[in-house]
A = this chain, B = another copy of it.
Amino acid sequence: MDIKRLASQYKTELLDNVLPFWMEHSQDKKYGGYFTCLLRNGEIYDTDKFVWLQARQVWMFAKLFNEVEKRNEWLEMAVSGAEFLRKYGHDGKLNWYFSVTREGKPLTQPYNIFSYAFAAMAFGQLSLATGSKEYSGIAKNTVNIILSKLNNPKGQWNKAFPGTRNLKNFSLPMILCNLSLELEKLMDKTTVERLMTDCIHEVMEVFYRPESGLMVENVSEDGKLSDSFEGRLLNPGHALEAMWFIMDLGEHLKQPELIYKANDIALHMLDTGWDKEYGGIFYFLDRMGYPPQQLEWDQKLWWVHMESLVAMIKGYNLTRQEENLQWFQKIHHYTWEHFKDNEYREWFGYLNRKGEVLLPLKGGKWKGCFHVPRGLYQCWRGLERLSG
């Protein structure tokens, strides 16, 4: 494995291919914010704005500005989205809508906690770039709202009948692992430390099940396994993404045993999630081998593969286990062969089980300027670190 050549491959793909796609096609110069529903060649096919994807794109460009290069065009890109979100993304009290029209009129109620989480990350990261107290205030206040909603994140839109089978979902502690590191410079030390301790506990001691070595998507409120569709659900990509957040936390907190444990779980989830027949990582599985309720269970999604690449290279940097490198090469090969579009810029998002393109889009309601560029950036940095 030529590490230097690989590092440069990821860097070039990010800077010369993927970012220019979003710079060129996603900017809404009339209303601010971004178009994310883009066909293979970048043509816009829908103009609705999904708050979570808007916020992720703000975060991405702010992050690149902060960590790669002080390019004005990246800062302007981030600010355009942030201003749109500040004005139209919430109800005036930082309750973040799920989606709004191109012009900014609310379309979908603020039922989704991830709109809040990514808004906090966006304004937090951008405040580091601009020094804006307004932006850091939005980030901090949004985090406080998230913390106040931990017990019932869906609020009135929660369809579960209370008391019969109270489940908690992996997504929230997982994303808080990411958020706690992101917002360290903005929040007070006690809050951040408590947040880190709590979410590491939830992820590694509640959703991780040592008896099976699996990370499950839902457990009962008291931390037990649930024999139900939700309780049997596995999402390998989700688990792998969480494990690199945990490795980052482990490095930050200087807890090597946490890093090793996270890496072992990542390797096991990959082994569980890998499609031995056609290659690639399944989207959903049932931990008891039953049919999942998700009809898209066998599809191969871009983000799952990007997050796995990041987990493997980060794990190798931190643990030097040979298995990490073998998996990295295997997923690298699959990912570049199937997700990269050799005719147009940016990558495909959705493949069928056999690796054929299922939807010829570059962005949509769920795919924006996030997992591909963040993954390329993380792999580039990871490979660079490895090469010395």
Mark out the residues of chain A between 210 and 240 whose CB falls within 8 Å of any chain B CB in the assembled complex.
227-229
Does A336 touch B at the CB level, under 8 Å?
Answer: no
Q: Kindly report how many copies of this chain are found in the complex they form together.
A: 2
Shortest CB distance A257–B (Å):
37
- The answer to whether A360 touches B45, judged by C-beta atoms less than 8 angstroms apart, is no
B-chain residues with CB within 8 Å of residue A386 when the two chains form the complex: none
* Most chain B beta carbons < 10 A, residue from A101, A165, A292: A165
A299 partner residues in chain B, CB cutoff 8 A: 295
Q: Which of B39, B160, B291 contacts A45 (CB 8 A)?
A: B291
The contact string, 1 if C-beta is below 8 Å from chain B, for chain A 89-100, is: 000000001100
A108 CA / B291 CA spacing, docked (Å): 21
Contact call B98/A365, Cβ cutoff below 8 A = no
Q: Does A23 contact B (CB under 8 A)?
A: no
Could you tell me if A290 and B46 are in contact, using CB atoms closer than 8 angstroms?
yes
* A282 contacts B by Cβ under 8 Å: no
Closest to A98 in B: B159
Residues of B within 8 A of A109 (CB): 159-161
Given contacts A106-B164, A164-B107, contact A296 B293 (CB under 8 A): no
Given contacts A46-B228, A361-B291, contact A101 B165 (CB under 8 A): yes
A residues with a Cβ closer than 8 A to B are 39, 45-46, 48, 97-98, 101, 105-109, 111, 156-157, 159-161, 164-165, 227-229, 288, 290-293, 295-299, 350, 352-353, 358-361, 364-365
